[in-house]
Structure 1
Amino acid sequence: MTKHFRLMVVAISLAALAACTAESGPSESGSSSPAAGAHCDGRVDAALGAWARAGFSGSIAISTGGRFDCLASYGSAEDAAGTPNTVDTVFSIGSVTKAFTAASVFRLVDDRKLALDDRVGSILPELTGPVAGVTVRQLLLHTSGLNGTHGTDHKPLDRVGALSAIGGLKLAFAPGTGYVYSNAGYTLLALVIEKVSGQSYRDYTMATTLPLPDGRIAGGFWDGEPAAPGPRAVGRLDGGRTGESGSFAGPHWAVDGNGGLAMTTRDLAAWTHALFTGRLVSAAAVRAIGTPGHDLGKGRSETPGWVAYDASVYGKPFLATAGGGGDIGHNAVLVWVPEGERVIAMASNRPEVTAEKLLEKLGPALLAGGPLPTPSPPPGGTAPAATVGKYRLGTGGGFEVTAAGNQMSISASGADAVSALFPPRGVPADELRRHEERVLALLGGKTQEGRRERKALEAAFGRVTGIAPAGTVVRDGELRSYVTVSTDTRTVLGWFAVNQEGGVEAAEVDTAPPALTLVAAGAGRYRPDDPTGSGPEVTVEFGTGRLTVTGPGGPYVAELAR
């Protein structure tokens, strides 16, 4: 499942580009250095190298006026083979794909084959349901009212199935009167592109949208053909699982149009510069793509495929988009600053320090012109004595402490334990409660999408006999409410992320409890291994037969189960 973009990430772009220079050569400090043939200013390299040692694995490309100031890669593309990331490593770009789909739409508008105010039902007469009355413009700006999912990323969905699923979605509001982010809407745009162009969506994208001014093709598709050429980064998911490799045979209409593309960060940056300098679409289309559309508040507006930030946010206007959060294990961020024709593209393939988290951390210092922050190493000395095992709270939930090599982790089961280990940062308690209520209403089958989710659960696990809340956490910029699903034969844990209208944005069922990796913090305590400082603010202490988790809400004491 692809996801949208968070606010603070893009702050880096306004100053980072001036901090890099093409004249400097690559550092020689090993795996945490730019790959051979890359270049990046020594100060930026040193800071990124420190973040690489803290867990960042990926690539970065920065350009000004079409000239690359910084190309660098860090970490491992594939742990098993010991293959490093390089500037030629290919990453899935997730929802950044929407910027490419929007560009294809405007190319067809330039060619007078399509108009933004065309209704999709007139283009696709086989499309049924209320969505047939929405316009191309409304789909581009997520103001169509489409709410909910039309497919699962790595499950086959053909064209007929996609049209049927999208046509069966209800609208959360009258088209043009509200906003809800919709992957289904961009897949519907891909279906429009296919119908209007007379080519398959993928062929049109490869032949018309991805070619760069120098004749190269900016990547391709992660799954299926035409595939993005070049060596691929293997993604890592939470818990150490390996992400989807790109071998899914399809059909791919669950992600086509909304999240299926893959490429290097160098090609991603080059394509962005070509787009906004009018080399891929007309000058009128460039203005339309960059003009603020639906107002999102706080200086942000939705534009076709992007989010526009006005000068009130960080002093200069810019556009940004990001993608990730699915089962591939990659994260990508992309920023365009019109002043100076500046681009920053970054991708990562590990969850410890994602591209979004890294940009969010470095941005304020770069804007202020100060030294780039680096992660603080854990305190030295002997780690406190910790007992591996299960611990129970008096209120019913509990924790499990495990160790592997030199790493220790703690997981939480039950709403009380999850609340203790994952206190929210900056999210009001009532917002967490409302999210949990929406998830329970969904799984209670009170909506059309909820009935589909319930049916899918029963097809996978047996007749559902009960749904119980199991805590809500903030993870990767989204709220995730965990639930315990009881069936005739077993009990499974899952989590759901839903929007304000109750539509599913992401989900995973039959999953592990939420967990933190711990590092020694001195004075007999542990803290989360969280170099970006974006996770929960808690400490963990071990005593004789007990464990204490202390956060903003105070201490929670659990007894060792015997």
Structure 2
Amino acid sequence: MVAAVALAGVLGACTGDGDAPGTVAARCDPRLDAAFRTWARAGFSGSIAISTGGRSVCLAAYGSANDADGTPNTVDTVFAIGSVTKAFTAAAVLELVEDGRLALDDRAGDLLPELTGPAAEVTVRRLLLHTSGLSGSHGEDHRPLDRAAALAAISGLESAFRPGSGYAYSNAGYTLLALIIEKASGTTYRRYTASRTLRLPDGRIAGGFWDGRPAPTGPRAVGHLDGGRPGARGDFAGPHWALDGNGGLAMTAGDLAAWTYALFTGRVVSAESVETLTRPGYDHGKGRSETPGWVAHDASVHGTPFLTTAGGGGDVGHDVVVAWVPEGRRVIVMASNKPKVSAESLLAKVGPALLAGKPLPTPHVPNGAGAGARPGKYGSKAGGTFDVTATGHRITVTATGIDTVTALFPPSGGVSAADFRANEQRVLALLNGRTEEGRKERATLERDFGPLRRVALAGTLFRDGDVRTYVTLMAGTKTIIGWYSLDAEGGVGAAEVPAAPPALTLVPDGAGRYRPDDPTGTGPAVTVEFRNGRMTLTGPGGTTVAEPAG
């Protein structure tokens, strides 16, 4: 998160207290606003909020909240904050600890007598730090799950390691914390969160829940998933225990920035609890450690300590990142509702230049010249295919087959071919029912699509922070494509079934070739060209030549 520190240091140059509600951009430094507008033209759609010492120094919004009716994003637009919700759940737990209703070393089973299995043995502290060992999912985001069913599902989770001896990110663990909050507070989790945890020092409530009540006020951004499909709109009736505690909150970027400042300056929890939030917990290595609801980065990472949390990757289609920089008491929030330039990728791209005091990098702009694309289907020697379509000067290449997916999406972003193979083996183990979670997943697939007759690997790629292994599922009379991203313990971190085959949009690079339409430069390092009736794809692993297929 280079960008988190960099933005905080440079954006102190912004002036003004922010524009009136409904205004698209506040009075930031004109050079920064101009740079962010170039990123908006390149695909960033969302909102930015930065404050120093509790004073808003930059509040801006760009792009479209709803393409269907032309509504723009504004500083009042509400975004689902996904896993940033965990920071709020952690704060609620610490509030209850302060009130004497909980202790960090309480066992979950002592607090919830109906809880059984390995989950009953873990402590509140280990749930907060994802060191409980709980492995697996307790429910699907937008499928009804009531309290009793959630407790039963969590009771049935397996333990991947002895509690406290390892790390496994767990949505189920944070839902268990929400159940504990409900029991300890004597009211519902949602009522406690809205009345206590979300309350800002000025008495306002910082948002609400994306689905169900209490809901945030204000217009909502329509999220977009890969391929442009609109995400979940927030009209799921519930019950919501698949997401409560781990990913259900929503608010404006400005309110999220205000709450973050209040949290770390002792206005939501006590100074002692702030110490707990910022004290390094599980050591991830390379200067990073887990804290309750956050990841702490020490000064060795980028010169000054800071904490971050991020949320996205679900079926809403939003991405949110938050950074707290103790030096100067600075907060940076970015939220986006389209995947082309996500909040996290924008921070990663502009951060180094901001840190060095240099002009912000600008996105690559297609030169508008065609590069001789020939739409159609092309086959590789290994049997995979590329389907090429064209829209204006852009082309979209869809890969089918392990070899063509690997050629179009070679390992990148610090992820290796070995990481790809490891995820593939975990996915096969899951879908062949070799684990308890795998047996549950197979049952879900067969409920939705019919008896599962065959599972075949269809390629692996790295996108939006996930190693995604695509599979072809033959279920009943249907053939379905989907993808899974699993954690090191074999738990489902993210998945989409059914899903579109992996596809990449490319633009002319001015040299007779096409390169990915990826303004941040974080995507696959490949080029495509068409010569002598053939399609040639070149990447880090070499060159793949595909011939026209009948």
TM-score w.r.t. length of structure 1: 0.95
Partner of 1:423: 410
User: Equivalences for 1:321-336 in 2 at 5 Å?
Assistant: 321-336=309-324
> How far off is 1:21 after superposition?
2.6
Q: Contact 1:468/1:483 (CA < 8 Å) preserved in 2?
A: yes
Tell me the distance in 1 between the aligned counterparts of 2:283 and 2:17.
Answer: 41
Q: Which sits farther off after the overlay, 518-527 or 223-232?
A: 518-527
Q: Contact 2:223/2:231 (CA < 8 Å) preserved in 1?
A: yes
1:209 partner amino acid? T
Among candidates 26, 40, 53, match of residue 52 of structure 1? 40
State whether structure 2 residue 531 is matched by structure 1 residue 543: yes
Tell me the distance in 1 between the aligned counterparts of 2:25 and 2:296.
Answer: 34
State whether structure 2 residue 376 is matched by structure 1 residue 389: yes
Partner of 1:338: 326
Partner of 1:167: 155
> How far off is 1:339 after superposition?
1.1
1:147 partner amino acid? S
> How far off is 1:560 after superposition?
1.6
Partner of 1:155: 143
Tell me the distance in 1 between the aligned counterparts of 2:244 and 2:275.
Answer: 25
**Is the partner of 2:158 in helix, strand or coil?**
coil
Q: Which sits farther off after the overlay, 175-184 or 421-430?
A: 421-430
> How far off is 1:187 after superposition?
0.3
Q: Which sits farther off after the overlay, 248-257 or 507-516?
A: 507-516
Tell me the distance in 1 between the aligned counterparts of 2:32 and 2:19.
Answer: 12
Cα–Cα, structure 1 residues 357 and 472, in superposed 2: closer, same or farther, change >3 Å?
same
1:140 partner amino acid? L
Partner of 2:14: 20
Tell me the distance in 2 between the aligned counterparts of 1:362 and 1:264.
Answer: 22
User: Equivalences for 1:298-337 in 2 at 5 Å?
Assistant: 298-337=286-325
Partner of 1:474: 462
Among candidates 78, 84, 99, match of residue 72 of structure 2? 84
Cα–Cα, structure 1 residues 496 and 459, in superposed 2: closer, same or farther, change >3 Å?
same
> How far off is 1:492 after superposition?
1.0
Tell me the distance in 1 between the aligned counterparts of 2:12 and 2:473.
Answer: 52
Tell me the distance in 2 between the aligned counterparts of 1:288 and 1:24.
Answer: 32
Partner of 1:29: none
Q: Contact 2:308/2:322 (CA < 8 Å) preserved in 1?
A: yes
State whether structure 2 residue 266 is matched by structure 1 residue 251: no
Tell me the distance in 2 between the aligned counterparts of 1:11 and 1:546.
Answer: 47
Q: Contact 1:11/1:359 (CA < 8 Å) preserved in 2?
A: no
Q: Contact 1:35/1:74 (CA < 8 Å) preserved in 2?
A: no
Partner of 1:267: 255
Partner of 1:408: 395
Listed as ranges, the gaps of 5+ residues in structure 2 are: none
> How far off is 1:408 after superposition?
2.3
Q: Contact 1:61/1:68 (CA < 8 Å) preserved in 2?
A: yes
Q: Contact 1:397/1:415 (CA < 8 Å) preserved in 2?
A: yes
- State the number of aligned residues: 548
**Is the partner of 2:528 in helix, strand or coil?**
strand
Partner of 2:343: 355
CA offsets 1:99-150 (integer angstroms, 9 cap, x no match)? 0000000110111111101101011001111110100000000000011111
Listed as ranges, the gaps of 5+ residues in structure 1 are: 1-6, 27-33
Q: Contact 2:281/2:289 (CA < 8 Å) preserved in 1?
A: yes
Q: Contact 2:288/2:296 (CA < 8 Å) preserved in 1?
A: yes
> How far off is 1:394 after superposition?
1.6
Partner of 1:39: 27
> How far off is 1:38 after superposition?
2.1
> How far off is 1:463 after superposition?
1.7
Tell me the distance in 2 between the aligned counterparts of 1:246 and 1:332.
Answer: 17
Tell me the distance in 2 between the aligned counterparts of 1:318 and 1:386.
Answer: 47
Q: Which sits farther off after the overlay, 37-46 or 191-200?
A: 37-46
Q: Contact 2:24/2:73 (CA < 8 Å) preserved in 1?
A: no
Q: Which sits farther off after the overlay, 398-407 or 134-143?
A: 398-407
> How far off is 1:521 after superposition?
1.3
> How far off is 1:484 after superposition?
1.1
Tell me the distance in 2 between the aligned counterparts of 1:108 and 1:467.
Answer: 47
Q: Contact 1:22/1:41 (CA < 8 Å) preserved in 2?
A: no
State whether structure 2 residue 528 is matched by structure 1 residue 558: no
> How far off is 1:192 after superposition?
0.3
**Is the partner of 1:468 in helix, strand or coil?**
strand
Identity among equivalent positions (%) equals 66
**Is the partner of 2:159 in helix, strand or coil?**
coil
**Is the partner of 1:522 in helix, strand or coil?**
coil
**Is the partner of 2:545 in helix, strand or coil?**
strand
Partner of 2:434: 446
Tell me the distance in 2 between the aligned counterparts of 1:20 and 1:183.
Answer: 37
State whether structure 2 residue 222 is matched by structure 1 residue 230: no
State whether structure 2 residue 518 is matched by structure 1 residue 522: no
Cα–Cα, structure 1 residues 38 and 13, in superposed 2: closer, same or farther, change >3 Å?
closer
Q: Contact 1:35/1:85 (CA < 8 Å) preserved in 2?
A: no
1:295 partner amino acid? D
Q: Contact 1:11/1:360 (CA < 8 Å) preserved in 2?
A: no
Q: Contact 1:295/1:302 (CA < 8 Å) preserved in 2?
A: yes
Partner of 1:120: 108
Cα–Cα, structure 1 residues 79 and 108, in superposed 2: closer, same or farther, change >3 Å?
same
> How far off is 1:405 after superposition?
5.2
Q: Contact 1:13/1:343 (CA < 8 Å) preserved in 2?
A: no
CA RMSD, 1 decimal: 1.5
2:482 partner amino acid? G
1:398 partner amino acid? T
**Is the partner of 2:277 in helix, strand or coil?**
helix
Cα–Cα, structure 1 residues 24 and 268, in superposed 2: closer, same or farther, change >3 Å?
closer
Among candidates 95, 105, 122, match of residue 83 of structure 2? 95
Tell me the distance in 1 between the aligned counterparts of 2:6 and 2:73.
Answer: 22
Q: Which sits farther off after the overlay, 264-273 or 390-399?
A: 390-399
Tell me the distance in 2 between the aligned counterparts of 1:418 and 1:37.
Answer: 40
Tell me the distance in 1 between the aligned counterparts of 2:364 and 2:511.
Answer: 17
**Is the partner of 2:134 in helix, strand or coil?**
coil
Tell me the distance in 2 between the aligned counterparts of 1:537 and 1:134.
Answer: 44
> How far off is 1:462 after superposition?
1.8
2:195 partner amino acid? A
Q: Which contiguous aligned blocks of 4+ residues in structure 1 show a shift greater than 4 angstroms? A: 23-26
2:15 partner amino acid? T
1:116 partner amino acid? L
**Is the partner of 1:505 in helix, strand or coil?**
strand
Q: Contact 2:384/2:401 (CA < 8 Å) preserved in 1?
A: yes
Among candidates 486, 489, 507, match of residue 474 of structure 2? 486
User: Equivalences for 1:105-254 in 2 at 5 Å?
Assistant: 105-254=93-242
Tell me the distance in 2 between the aligned counterparts of 1:434 and 1:402.
Answer: 32
